[in-house]
Chains A and B, each alone.
Chain A
Amino acid sequence: MARPRYVVENSIRAIRFASSEMTQQELADKVGVSRQTINAIEGGKYSPSLEVAFEIARAFNKPLDSVFRSVPVRS
C-alpha cells in the first residue's frame, strides 16, 4: 500500500491581514528572510525550514500549527 503524501499549507496571508495588515516586507524583516521568500511561502512555492516556520509563528505570536498545517494530497 502506498504511503499517503502530504503538503504543507499555511494561513500566513490571512493572519497578516488580521495582524494590522502587516506587509510581506514587515514580516520578512521580523523573520530574517527576503520578501520574495515570504511571498513564495504564502503562495505554496516554498516550504520553509522548521526554524523559519517557528520564526513566522513567533512573529504572529501564534502556535506553529495555527499558521502551518499538513494536509494529504488528493490523488
Chain B
Amino acid sequence: MHASFEEKSVWVQLVCLLVALGGYLVIAGRMMAAGVSELPAYAPLFVAAVVLLVVMLGVGHALALIGSRPEGRDERDRRIDWRAEHGSSWVLAAGVFASITAMVLGVPNVWVAHTLLVSMMLSEVLGLVLKIRFYRLGV
C-alpha cells in the first residue's frame, strides 16, 4: 500500500477505535442488559478502554512510521479532514439531540450517557471511513 503516513494514521485510528471503544460498548451493553444502572459501575471499564486506546494508538503509529516518513500535512490532507468532518458531524448532532430528548423523557442516565458515547464513536468512525474513501478515490 503506497499510502502516506497521514493515510496510515487514519487506518490506525479506525482500527484502534473499533477495537477499544467497540469492545467497551459490547461489554457495557451486556452490563446494561443485565440491569446495571449505576453509571459509576462503568467507569473502570471506560478508563481501561481509553488506556487501551491510547496504547494501541501509540503502537499503531510507531508501526506506521516504519516504511513511510511523515511528510507533514498539506492542503489535500486539510481538505480531506474538512470534507470528512462535514460528512460525519451530523451523527454526533443526532446523538446529542437524542440524548437531550431522552433526558426530557426521564430515561436513566446510563442510557443517556451511552447514547452520547455511541454517537461520538459512530461520528468518529464515519469520519475516518470517509477520510479513507477520499484518500483512495479522490476528493
A positions within 8 Å CB-CB of B:
28, 32-37, 39-40, 43-46, 48-49, 52
Q: Can you spell out 13 A-B residue pairs with CB atoms less than 8 angstroms apart?
A: A33-B76, A34-B72, A35-B4, A36-B3, A36-B4, A36-B7, A37-B76, A40-B76, A45-B137, A45-B138, A48-B75, A48-B76, A49-B75
Total number of B residues with any Cβ neighbor in A under 8 Å: 16
**Would you list the 10 A-B pairs with minimal beta carbon distance, nearest first?**
A45-B138, A33-B74, A34-B71, A36-B4, A37-B76, A46-B76, A34-B74, A37-B74, A34-B4, A49-B75
**Partner pick for B138 among A33, A40, A49, CB 8 A cutoff:** A40
Contacts of A28 in B (CB 8 A): 71
Contact mask for chain B residues 41-77; partner A; CB cutoff 8 A; 1 contact, 0 none: 0000000000000000000000000000001101111
How far, in angstroms, from A39 to B76 measured CA to CA in the complex?
11
Contacts of B6 in A (CB 8 A): 34
How far, in angstroms, from A40 to B136 measured CA to CA in the complex?
9
B68 closest partner in A (C-beta): A36
Least Cβ–Cβ distance between A30 and chain B, in angstroms: 13
5 further interface pairs, Cβ-Cβ under 8 Å (given A37-B76, A45-B137) = A34-B76, A40-B76, A46-B76, A46-B79, A49-B75
Are B74 and A44 neighbours in the complex by a CB distance under 8 Å?
A: no
Least Cβ–Cβ distance between A50 and chain B, in angstroms: 11
Contacts of A40 in B (CB 8 A): 76, 138
Least Cβ–Cβ distance between A75 and chain B, in angstroms: 20
B139 at the interface (CB under 8 A from A): yes
How far, in angstroms, from A40 to B135 measured CA to CA in the complex?
9
Contacts of A52 in B (CB 8 A): 75
A25 closest partner in B (C-beta): B71
Least Cβ–Cβ distance between A36 and chain B, in angstroms: 4
A35 closest partner in B (C-beta): B71
Are B138 and A44 neighbours in the complex by a CB distance under 8 Å?
A: yes
Least Cβ–Cβ distance between B62 and chain A, in angstroms: 20
Contacts of B137 in A (CB 8 A): 45
